[in-house]
Amino acid sequence: MQEPVSNQKRVWPAMKRGLKCKCPNCGKGWLFHHYLEQVDVCANCNEPIGEFKAGLFTSLVVITLIVHVVAVLMLDMELRGANDPMFYLYILVPVTLFGSLAVMPPIKGAIIGMMWAKGWSDEQDR
Judge whether residue 37 has pLDDT over 50: yes
Tens of pLDDT, residues 71-120: 999 999 989 888 788 988 999 999 999 999 999 999 999 999 999 999 88
- Predicted pLDDT of residue 69: 96
Cα–Cα distance measured from residue 114 to residue 18, given in angstroms and rounded to the nearest whole number? 8
pTM here is 0.85
Biggest distance spanned by C-alpha atoms of the chain: 56
**Distance (Å, rounded) from C-alpha 122 to C-alpha 5?**
24
Q: Where are the chain's structural domains?
A: 13-121
How far apart (Å, rounded) are the C-alpha atoms in residues 76 and 80?
6
Q: What is the C-alpha radius of gyration for the chain, rounded to an integer number of angstroms?
A: 18
Which pLDDT score, from 0 to 100, does residue 85 have? 85
